[in-house]
Structure formats: structure tokens, C-alpha cells
Structure 1
Amino acid sequence: MFYRPEIGHGLPHNPFGAIVAPRPIGWISTRGADGVDNLAPYSFFNAVAYAPPQVMFASTSAKPDRAGTKDSVANIRDTGVFAVNIVEYAAREAMNRTSGGLAREVDEFAKAGIAKAGCETIDCPRVAEAPAVLECTLTRIVALPGAANLVVFGEVKGVHMRDDCLVGGRFDVTRFSPLARLGYSDYTAVREDFALARPGDT
């Protein structure tokens, strides 16, 4: 099968998200200029550079009360900071509860019953029990083709790692099984890993 996205695929559901998978989930926490905390998952998320460490996430839809975007991006525009909380399998239901399009004055931490903690380098909440959290300052927001496609880039200024995830001096993802997004309403979790040495590595 071949299709052109601008013409359509003729399938019951869009296959694009299932093709580009699995995708890590950035559980983005922000604090609005009005002091209201926000927490929302984004599966268009990844690390993009080592030195300095940088990450990105993309928001691809809008809310009526946010003028062309969603709460996360609007808050980051106002404050210049955000935190990326890594989602473990055990938090899958809590993460899902924060994915709805709630009104801007709703604190998703409270609504979903998620314990929050403060960040060290930025004025922003974080998920207290997350396996890892990246505290970020905004570097740029890039508008992509499309009505509400915005990519947020941030520089990592602080890193939290849960002690039980550190094994032998390494951050071990199999200790908490990070959640990843597949297509449609499907997810997966990392429960095993393997090593491959690059040619020339010793």
C-alpha cells in the first residue's frame, strides 16, 4: 500500500503514529504566569543534543481558551521554563488522566491525584515520584506547517534521578519500565534491553 498524506489513506484510522513508534512520552509540567500548575503528556518528544543537553516536544492541537495552542506551550511562552517528567509503567493511568483538554484554570496534578514537588533550578512543579525529571529553560519555539504545530526546544538545567533507578553507576530503565506511545490508543513499556558495540568501540 502507498498513500499521499494530502490525499488520504482510506483506512479507518491514521497509520502515521503507528509507523513512527515507539515514541517516548514527555510528561510536561509547567506553571502559568497566574500560578496555576499544568501537567500534560506529549508523545512527540525526544532528546536532541548532549552538550549542552537539550530536549524538544511538539504540540499539535489547540484549545479554545488558549488562542492557537495548549496550556503547556502557552505557559512556557509566558514563563520560559518547563520540566520533563519521565513516565513509568506504574504511572500509566495517572498519565492518561492528565491527557484531557481541561480548562486552563484546572491543576492536573490535583485533578489526577499526583504528588508534586518543586524544581531546583526553575520555578516549576515536577512529578514527585517520577523516575527522572529534566528541568528546562526555553531556547525557542518553532512553528511548523499546520494550524497548531509548535515545537518547543529547551536546555536542561537540572536533572533528578530516583535513587532506585541507579544501578552500578548507570541509570537503568528496566528498573521502572518507561512508557512509550505506539499508534492509535496503544502503548508499550521497556522491560528488557541489550547492548551493541559500535564498530571500533573497545
Structure 2
Amino acid sequence: MTDDRTEIDVSTLPPGGTYPWLTATVIPRPIAWVSSLSADGVENLAPHSFFTVASAEPPVVSFTSVGEKDTIRNVRATGEFVVNFASRSLAEKINLTSTNFPPEHSEAAVAELALTDSTAVRPRRVAESPAALECRFVGEKSFGDSTVVFGQVLHLSVATASLLADGKPDAHHLDPAARLGRDEWGTLGEIFSLRRIPYREWAGSTKDGDPSAS
């Protein structure tokens, strides 16, 4: 391994200078394709690539709005949103919905996407998306110009064709698109399994619990 590295004191970077470094190194990132509704009933659909699970019980997901965009204004106004699964087959349409259309425009209509009624919330979900998380807004935390939005998952909707025999989603069938740096996107590529080893089992497989023993 080489010791030749580029060292960066982030305090020396210009405003906005950390963004391309973060997006190029924190990869791959899942995409929250969020559908929301304004107080006036205007539908919005936009992707957010700072997205993850924040809590298992209760089930809470989070996405980050960089700047104050229509999505966060809508979520604050109505208290609800839907995270639609971002499949590779929909990547071009997802990308189109990232365009900064004026609030009165429907991104779903521009991208020729069908919306269907949700079960637990008012914002509709993307019919072509194989999975959706219907969420209630439960809080936010701001850092500079970015705001992390938290939503408690009230309802899960998954295409039956995407489920395996154990009843859980099949990653191959869902075929997620992920964001990388610059204008780069990615797919899953190789999928492999690693079973987590309980400590008791690990310790029992070594002499006196010493992994260096032979």
C-alpha cells in the first residue's frame, strides 16, 4: 500500500467545496425518490441521494434536503411523504425529476410517470416503482444549508413479483440505482453473503478464545 495521499483540511475549501468530495467518497448512496404534496394540493416528485434508515423500532427513515426545496416545504406543510424505490430501469426518469422545475409543475407528468393512491398518506406513490415507504413527518435537524428530514414509516408497499420465498424483497429483482460522484450512477454489481458470527461461536472455535492459537 502506498503512503502517497492527498490530505485536505476542509476548513480551507471554498463554500460548497466539500460537497463534491463527500459525494465522490460516500458511495454508493441509495436514492429516496420522494413524492409529496403542497398545502395547495400540488404534487411534487424529487430524488434525494442522502438517504438511509434512521431507526428500526419505530421504523424511521431520513433524507437530506440540500437547500430549501419544494420537497421539504411540502413535508413541513402537510406532514407526509412517500419514499419510492429507485430502480435502475427508472434511472432516466428519476434524473429528469431532479430538474428544478417551478413549484406549479408536476415532475411525474413531465417524466410520464403514473401516480397511484397511497394507503396511509395523502401524497401518491409512483406506480412504476416496485416498493414504497409511506411516511409521517416526525422531525428535522438542520446543519448549515442542509436539513435532515425524518419520517416514520406507516405503510410498506412492495410488488409481489419482487418478493422471494421468505416473503422479503429480492435485491436482484428490485435492481436499485445508486448515486456516486459527479454525474455518475451505479448498480449493485456482485452480491455476496456474509453470515454474522456471534461472539460465543467465534470464541468457541479458537483455543481459549485466542484467535491466534493453532
Same fold, judged at TM 0.5 (above)? yes
The aligned counterpart of 1:64 is none
Per the TM alignment, residue 195 of structure 1 is displaced from its structure 2 partner at its CA by 1.2
AA paired with 1:130? S
1:191–1:161: structure 2 CA closer, same or farther, 3 Å change rule? farther
Q: 1:175 aligns with which of 164, 173, 176?
A: 173
The aligned counterpart of 1:79 is 78
- Residue 35 of structure 2 corresponds to residue 38 of structure 1: no
The aligned counterpart of 1:6 is 11
Per the TM alignment, residue 14 of structure 1 is displaced from its structure 2 partner at its CA by 2.7
Aligned residues: 191
The secondary structure found in structure 2 opposite 1:185 is: coil
AA paired with 1:50? A
Per the TM alignment, residue 191 of structure 1 is displaced from its structure 2 partner at its CA by 4.1
Q: Which has the larger radius of gyration?
A: 2
List alignment gaps of at least 5 residues for structure 1: 62-68
8 Å Cα contact 1:28/1:39 also seen in 2:
yes
The aligned counterpart of 2:102 is 103
Q: Flag the structure with higher strand content.
A: 1
Between the two structures, name the one with larger relative contact order (CA 8 Å, sep ≥ 6).
Answer: 1
Question: 1:64-143 residue pairs with structure 2 within 5 A?
Answer: 69-143=68-142
Separation in 2 of the partners of 1:188 and 1:162?
23
1:59–1:21: structure 2 CA closer, same or farther, 3 Å change rule? same
List alignment gaps of at least 5 residues for structure 2: 1-5, 202-214
AA paired with 1:168? A
AA paired with 2:169? F
Separation in 2 of the partners of 1:74 and 1:125?
17
Q: 1:188 aligns with which of 172, 183, 186?
A: 186
Separation in 2 of the partners of 1:165 and 1:87?
14
Separation in 1 of the partners of 2:31 and 2:150?
15
8 Å Cα contact 1:177/1:191 also seen in 2:
no
Q: Flag the structure with higher helix content.
A: 2
Separation in 2 of the partners of 1:14 and 1:29?
26
Per the TM alignment, residue 45 of structure 1 is displaced from its structure 2 partner at its CA by 0.5
TM-score for the superposition, normalised by structure 2: 0.85
Question: Kindly, what percent of the aligned residue pairs are identical?
Answer: 36
TM-score for the superposition, normalised by structure 1: 0.90
Please give the per-residue CA displacement for 1:95-141, whole angstroms capped at 9, x wherever unaligned.
01100111011111111111101110011111012111000000001
